[in-house]
């Protein structure tokens, strides 16, 4: 590839992590090695503890980290895929501090001038209706995520100075963020593509992206119901001293995990990788369904980094996997 950096941007819940994960998987299938860094990943090279700095200090530290990141990526033999670290993270953080819009724009342009040497590709997943998109993601991620996010937004300088509260205040904040993101996308003089997500046709979006990158898109054969059913059932986990059950279900041709406290999003869809190994959608964690001598699933072993509220490595014993025992009898 002739790029060293692929940047995914878009509103919260727009599909940045999933798309980054998909691109990474496709490149590896084509024997193109790459490094994928997801938003919120532990040890992220472009994140800092914002509350620990003044506005001026934070800007200097972030600029320094971007400079160091670019220097390192130039030396890598493989491209880096990252998401949410530019528009969502930096514009969002600066907006929360109620920094002047034009100041934010100028700062983002200064960062672009740093990483432009990497011949970057910017993929922008654009929402046409911010409020509707946020309603959808709140419903998907659950009441705890929604209430925590809104509470955090209520406390920002941006919200307090404007008397913004609740879901409507959160929507207003994201609308302004999206406005600035749209402006920056239009102004950035780098290779870029915008994907209008209004139709929800992800296969079409992926095709657009790979045509834009001048790369082929390999399509996996759909997995059979019989193959997927052997992984469904009830499993157990120990979380914060308590034993609880969670469930793997088959829905619309895909496996989905429900009620596992180790995972950030409930439900958590799974993406098949190979054999008995699946990836958690929007996360780098992998789940291996381990079999006993009879070919029955006895446990799930999770491996991967800590990302946001999701945990890293863990083992989940199987309590009952009814479909397996039914097919065995």
Q: Examine the fold and report which residue of 191, 212, 233 is the final residue of a domain before the chain moves on.
A: 212
pLDDT digits (tens, 9 = 90+) for 125-136: 999 999 999 999
Say if 45 falls within a structural domain: yes
Residues 177 and 108 in one domain: yes
**Is residue 234, in this structure, part of any structural domain at all?**
yes
Same domain for 204 and 99, yes or no, is: yes
d(CA 250, CA 229): 7
Examine residue 94 and state whether it is found in any structural domain, yes or no: yes
Is residue 218 assigned to a domain? no
In a domain, 26, yes or no: yes
- Number of domains, the chain: 2
Q: Establish if 217 belongs to a structural domain.
A: no
Q: Let me know whether 153 and 184 are in one domain.
A: yes
Q: Which residues of the chain have pLDDT under 50?
A: 322-329
Would 219 be classed as within a structural domain? no
Pair (206, 231) in one structural domain:
no
Which among 212, 243, 263 is the end of a domain? 212
Q: Within this chain, do residues 147 and 177 fall inside the same structural domain, yes or no?
A: yes
CATH code of 291's domain: 2.40.128
Give the pLDDT confidence score for residue 40 in this predicted structure: 77
Q: Answer yes or no: is 47 within a domain.
A: yes
Strands 191-196 and 80-83: unpaired
Residues 201 and 247 in one domain: no
> In sequence order, what E strands does the chain have?
5-10, 35-37, 80-83, 121-126, 191-196, 233-239, 242-251, 254-258, 268-274, 277-280, 286-291, 297-303, 314-320
The reported pTM is 0.86
Q: What is the CATH number for 118?
A: 3.40.50.300
Domain range for 300 is: 225-328
Note the pLDDT of residue 307. 57
Q: Is 259 left (phi over 0), alpha (psi -120 to 50) or beta?
A: left
User: Quick one: 266 and 318 in the same domain?
Assistant: yes
pLDDT digits (tens, 9 = 90+) for 99-116: 999 999 999 999 999 999
Q: How many helices (H) and strands (E) does the chain have?
A: 11, 13
Which of the listed residues 151, 183, 212 is the one where a domain comes to its end? 212
Same-domain status, 187 and 240: no
Q: Which residues contact 247 (CB under 8 A, 6 or more apart)?
A: 232, 233, 234, 235, 257, 258, 259
Q: Are residues 69 and 26 in the same domain?
A: yes
* Confidence at residue 324, expressed as pLDDT on a 0 to 100 scale: 43
Shared domain check, 229 and 207: no
Whether residues 19 and 157 share a domain: the answer is yes
pLDDT at 264: 64
Compute the distance between CA of residue 14 and CA of residue 39 in angstroms, rounded to an integer: 13
Look at residue 323 in the predicted model and tell me its pLDDT: 42
Residues 230 and 129 in one domain: no
Q: What residues have CB less than 8 Å from 10, skipping those under 6 apart?
A: 16, 84, 87, 88, 124, 125, 126, 127, 197
């Amino acid at each position: 590839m002739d790029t060293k950096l692929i940047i995914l941007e878009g509103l919260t819940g727009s599909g940045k992590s999933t798309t980054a994960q998909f691109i990474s998987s496709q490149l590896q299938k084509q024997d193109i090695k790459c490094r994928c860094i997801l938003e919120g990943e532990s040890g992220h090279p472009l994140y800092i503890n914002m509350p620990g700095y003044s506005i001026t200090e934070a800007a200097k530290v972030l600029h320094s980290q971007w400079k160091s990141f670019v220097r390192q990526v130039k030396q890598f033999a493989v491209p880096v895929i990252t998401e949410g670290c530019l528009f969502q993270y930096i514009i969002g953080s600066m907006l929360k501090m109620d920094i002047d819009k034009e100041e934010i724009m100028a700062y983002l342009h200064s960062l672009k001038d740093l990483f432009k040497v990497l011949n970057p590709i910017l993929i922008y997943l654009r929402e046409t209706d911010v409020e509707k998109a946020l309603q959808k993601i709140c419903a998907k991620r659950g009441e705890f995520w929604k209430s925590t996010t809104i509470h955090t937004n209520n406390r920002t300088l941006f919200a307090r100075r404007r008397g913004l509260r609740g879901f409507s205040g959160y929507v207003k904040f994201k609308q302004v963020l999206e406005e600035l993101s749209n402006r920056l996308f239009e102004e950035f003089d780098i290779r870029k593509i915008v994907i209008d997500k209004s139709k929800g046709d992800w296969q079409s979006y992926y095709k657009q992206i790979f045509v834009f990158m001048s790369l082929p898109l390999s399509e996996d054969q759909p997995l059979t119901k019989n193959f997927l059913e052997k992984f469904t059932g009830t499993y157990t986990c120990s979380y914060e001293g308590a034993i609880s059950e969670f469930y793997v279900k088959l829905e619309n041709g895909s496996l989905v995990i429900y009620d596992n406290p180790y995972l950030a999003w409930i439900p958590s869809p799974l993406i098949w990788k190979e054999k008995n190994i699946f990836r958690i959608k929007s996360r780098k964690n992998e789940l291996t369904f381990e079999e006993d001598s009879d070919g029955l699933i006895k446990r799930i072993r999770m491996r991967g980094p800590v990302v946001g509220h999701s945990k890293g490595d863990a083992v989940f014993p199987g309590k009952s996997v009814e479909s397996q025992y039914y097919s065995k009898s």
